[in-house]
Chain A
């Protein structure tokens, strides 16, 4: 055995060049600059984490500029315009480019290790998501270079963000860049759903799954449903800015509150999307330092699942001051109060875990305690703000700023820093400093409270948010001074942490195997294992396999008993499992390093930049190039039907054509995202129709005959795609699917021609709805053409049913969307008849 690793890393993980050369070659990370083509979850996860940290530091610097401006009354450190840009970019970077991506980075890195998989299930999708995130973030940040930084707040409220009140490109940078970056979140969500459900170690049923995986599974579903409303809102607003369609224009039956509904339908669940992964980290780290399993695993699962649902019923509590009917306010107030119950269940679960033993007060543990203290205070002020009368008083005041920072910094940043200290051996093979860590904690903890606790008082004394300065003598001077000084202390704590993170990479003590005595599977190997995770995947019998199966740590990790030892035929493989029981179901073949994800993301980046520059021909060409990239991505020989001898678990088939197979589950996950996008559009149509009835009569009616024809063709589409899925890959079956998709789109287009999208907001939204369905039909047609070409070129054997199976489900969903669109278009005719 040769113990070695990359030259800049500690010599630790077992690399079996002599014993298993084929395995090591299959999983090797490309050297030099070719590492950019790596799709390994370890590489991609670290990219997410490091990039997120950079955005955090930039956003933190902007926060310091804000606090410096407010240190004294009538300050002129920043002018009002710059101040608006700075606080807008602070919020935007923190919420979109730091909080969610960095947590996804941890999930991408840790989940396969915890679940007993050799990589994430769709490595190329993870890499593609990262590049979209990076390019989107660069686009948003580059607005500073063009003196066009967004200045309308991180929420981009209309009508302020429309071209009438925000001319120039600043809002476009935000809308295009953030929507682009959100592709990363959505792709990561689909990937995490499929990975958690389909690639767990043998024996790891849902009840034995690490609690972090439960948190991430629920979070991924929340992202899949929560992000689409904002994506739709951003698309509508960008179309209004570029093409003048009146979605938010009150003179044409539009409504600025529609933007707020769409934004907060995303924005409030997002708070929980940020909180839950961090709470999952706490639930993972805490038992390690207490030395006991998490108290009330079942309570925590119930709380996480119910919180995932209930958090979608709170969005309008950000709109209490917008004039919604009082009865609606009370509904959202009730739901906002109710969410405290599952949150409280989780907190008590943590507290009872603490009470089970004598916790070791390590640095991660300090940050966990800091999280509990701060987040509980933030939760309590959250319950206060859920009360409508109090909310009206505190609305848009510094009390709200204090509350949200208690929830987000307490609920996310503190656990995150604790997580860095806990899992850093995985990234560097070394331990971060306990001494510097304690300095970082106490500086951050003290600075945080000085900064934000006082803001409660500033807010209660009436200071509004988002003001560039304030006159003296209103009782805000001293509080602002102290808050600013506190922010400097907080920043010093962050700098100590960052310094420790950079420093320990070179000089931290080497981390031993399982340095904290944890029970979860990611610590089975010594830190810095080579590019792969498991030479053989062990069968697990409990949630803490390293505690309950001592044989796993008794000898070298690479000698542990398990399935799939080695790499047959030099391919990357992992075990695919039954989503519920965790029993092995199939072998999943994973891709090797490839440049395609980078090229695909780059084409979208070109399209985004070209749109910003109004170079629409280039944007169109880039989108065509994107389709070529996706075709190259999917152009690979099908391996369904092959088998692999896994050892203890016997012979398993490769990439099974089954509804429980990983690609089908990913298809369902993707359809969930698409359904949420479509649902957001339907909500928009119904909202405008309901709120501005006078304008719906002007909107014009779709041609009923052609709409009915489109509906009939949609039924043909559903039937043909289902027949193709059932009968298996035959070239003749692709043709009806292709033709019915094209014909349905044509029918729908003709039906829409009688509606002028420039007339009213409802008409414009109906066109976007039809356009969305058109894109779905285009995907069906492109997919069918692609499959047909593959069959022509002999890439598909008769038993390779997976693509047809997946297209069958996609076709069903597309057909149903067409039928819903037809009902919406025909409804006014039926209403007129009645």
Chain B
């Protein structure tokens, strides 16, 4: 039964996952970018900055695509709208994270 502001019970959990998943992907991507930059640009110099940039370049498109998957969810309920917007905001944020690395390269 669908009440006002509601979704059928069986749809709630998948939509909730669609709200949270993009944000979690953003978090994982951010940690990876930060770790890559730290590995390349700190004193220990674990990896070459080129490889750090390449790593970010490689993981960013799938991460952004995976995050944006929720945006194709149809439906007019508030929760489904939340899933779409969470996807859009998170995908944009992933691209923002990667942009400096891709545009600048090196450690700056």
- Is A644 in the interface zone, CB < 8 Å from B? no
Nearest A residue to B106 by beta-carbon distance?
A327
- Is A335 in the interface zone, CB < 8 Å from B? yes
Q: Kindly state the separation between the CA atoms of A580 and B34 in the bound complex, as whole angstroms.
A: 34
Per-residue CB proximity of B1-45 to A under 8 Å, as 1/0?
A: 001111101001100100110111011001001100111011110
| Contact present for A306 and B41 (CB under 8 Å) | no
Nearest A residue to B107 by beta-carbon distance?
A325
Q: Name the contact of A325 in the complex, choosing from B19, B83, B86, B108 (C-beta under 8 A).
A: B108
**Given A325-B107, A327-B37 in contact, is the A693-B89 Cβ separation under 8 Å?**
no
Nearest B residue to A326 by beta-carbon distance?
B108
Q: Name the contact of A302 in the complex, choosing from B86, B99, B107 (C-beta under 8 A).
A: B86
| Contact present for B89 and A342 (CB under 8 Å) | yes
Nearest CB of chain B from residue A42's CB, rounded to whole Å: 28
| Contact present for A302 and B37 (CB under 8 Å) | no
**Given A326-B108, A327-B101, A335-B96 in contact, is the A305-B5 Cβ separation under 8 Å?**
no
Instruction: Note all chain B residues with C-beta closer than 8 A to A338.
Output: 92-93, 96-97
**Given A207-B6, A305-B86, A326-B104 in contact, is the A334-B81 Cβ separation under 8 Å?**
no
| Contact present for B77 and A298 (CB under 8 Å) | yes
Instruction: Note all chain A residues with C-beta closer than 8 A to B80.
Output: 298
Q: Name the contact of A308 in the complex, choosing from B5, B6, B23, B104 (C-beta under 8 A).
A: B23
Nearest CB of chain B from residue A311's CB, rounded to whole Å: 11
| Contact present for A325 and B4 (CB under 8 Å) | no
Q: Which among A45-53, A540-548, A588-596 touches the partner chain?
A: A540-548
Nearest CB of chain B from residue A812's CB, rounded to whole Å: 21
| Contact present for A302 and B83 (CB under 8 Å) | yes
- Is A310 in the interface zone, CB < 8 Å from B? yes
Nearest CB of chain A from residue B34's CB, rounded to whole Å: 7
Q: Kindly state the separation between the CA atoms of A693 and B38 in the bound complex, as whole angstroms.
A: 13
Q: Name the contact of B104 in the complex, choosing from A327, A345, A543, A548 (C-beta under 8 A).
A: A327
| Contact present for A327 and B89 (CB under 8 Å) | no
Per-residue CB proximity of A326-338 to B under 8 Å, as 1/0?
A: 1111110111011
Q: Kindly state the separation between the CA atoms of A109 and B77 in the bound complex, as whole angstroms.
A: 30
Nearest B residue to A342 by beta-carbon distance?
B89
| Contact present for B81 and A299 (CB under 8 Å) | yes
Q: Kindly state the separation between the CA atoms of A337 and B64 in the bound complex, as whole angstroms.
A: 18
Nearest CB of chain B from residue A319's CB, rounded to whole Å: 13
Nearest A residue to B19 by beta-carbon distance?
A305
Q: Kindly state the separation between the CA atoms of A615 and B45 in the bound complex, as whole angstroms.
A: 45
Tell me the B49-104 residues at the A interface (CB within 8 Å): 49, 77-86, 89-90, 92-93, 96-97, 99-101, 104
Instruction: Note all chain B residues with C-beta closer than 8 A to A580.
Output: 9, 12-13, 16
Nearest B residue to A293 by beta-carbon distance?
B5
Nearest B residue to A309 by beta-carbon distance?
B23
Q: Secondary structure at chain B's binding surface: helix, strand, loop or mixed?
A: helix
Instruction: Note all chain B residues with C-beta closer than 8 A to A310.
Output: 23, 26, 89, 93
Instruction: Note all chain B residues with C-beta closer than 8 A to A342.
Output: 89
Q: Name the contact of B100 in the complex, choosing from A308, A331, A543, A693 (C-beta under 8 A).
A: A331
Q: Kindly state the separation between the CA atoms of A689 and B45 in the bound complex, as whole angstroms.
A: 11
| Contact present for B43 and A691 (CB under 8 Å) | yes
| Contact present for B33 and A331 (CB under 8 Å) | yes
Instruction: Note all chain A residues with C-beta closer than 8 A to B89.
Output: 302-303, 306, 310, 341-342, 345
Instruction: Note all chain B residues with C-beta closer than 8 A to A327.
Output: 37, 41, 49, 100-101, 104, 106-108
Q: Name the contact of B42 in the complex, choosing from A330, A335, A341, A691 (C-beta under 8 A).
A: A691
Q: Name the contact of B3 in the complex, choosing from A208, A296, A329, A692 (C-beta under 8 A).
A: A208
Q: Kindly state the separation between the CA atoms of A548 and B3 in the bound complex, as whole angstroms.
A: 11
**Given A326-B107, A689-B44 in contact, is the A334-B12 Cβ separation under 8 Å?**
no
**Given A306-B90, A693-B44 in contact, is the A313-B97 Cβ separation under 8 Å?**
yes
Q: Kindly state the separation between the CA atoms of A333 and B99 in the bound complex, as whole angstroms.
A: 11
**Given A208-B5, A208-B6 in contact, is the A325-B97 Cβ separation under 8 Å?**
no
Q: Kindly state the separation between the CA atoms of A330 and B104 in the bound complex, as whole angstroms.
A: 9
- Is A583 in the interface zone, CB < 8 Å from B? yes
Instruction: Note all chain B residues with C-beta closer than 8 A to A331.
Output: 33-34, 37, 97, 100-101
Tell me the A281-314 residues at the B interface (CB within 8 Å): 296-299, 301-303, 305-306, 308-310, 312-313
Instruction: Note all chain A residues with C-beta closer than 8 A to B79.
Output: 206-207, 298, 301
| Contact present for B44 and A690 (CB under 8 Å) | yes
Most buried by A among B38, B84, B100, B101: B100
| Contact present for B81 and A298 (CB under 8 Å) | yes
| Contact present for B27 and A325 (CB under 8 Å) | no
- Is A581 in the interface zone, CB < 8 Å from B? yes
Nearest CB of chain B from residue A315's CB, rounded to whole Å: 10
Most buried by A among B7, B19, B42, B77: B42
**Given A207-B78, A301-B82 in contact, is the A334-B99 Cβ separation under 8 Å?**
yes
- Is A203 in the interface zone, CB < 8 Å from B? yes
- Is A69 in the interface zone, CB < 8 Å from B? no
Nearest B residue to A689 by beta-carbon distance?
B44
Most buried by B among A203, A297, A298: A298
Nearest A residue to B108 by beta-carbon distance?
A326
Tell me the A345-374 residues at the B interface (CB within 8 Å): 345
Nearest CB of chain A from residue B89's CB, rounded to whole Å: 4
**Given A208-B6, A334-B96 in contact, is the A305-B43 Cβ separation under 8 Å?**
no
Instruction: Note all chain B residues with C-beta closer than 8 A to A208.
Output: 3-6
11 A–B pairs (Cβ distance < 8 Å), ordered by A? A205-B12, A207-B78, A301-B79, A302-B82, A310-B26, A326-B108, A331-B33, A345-B85, A580-B13, A580-B16, A690-B44
Interface residues of B (CB under 8 A from A): 3-7, 9, 12-13, 16, 19-20, 22-24, 26-27, 30, 33-34, 37-39, 41-44, 46, 49, 77-86, 89-90, 92-93, 96-97, 99-101, 104, 106-108
**Sample of 12 more A-B contacts, CB < 8 Å, known A205-B12, A301-B82, A331-B34:** A205-B7, A298-B80, A303-B89, A309-B90, A327-B101, A328-B34, A328-B108, A335-B96, A338-B96, A581-B12, A689-B44, A691-B42
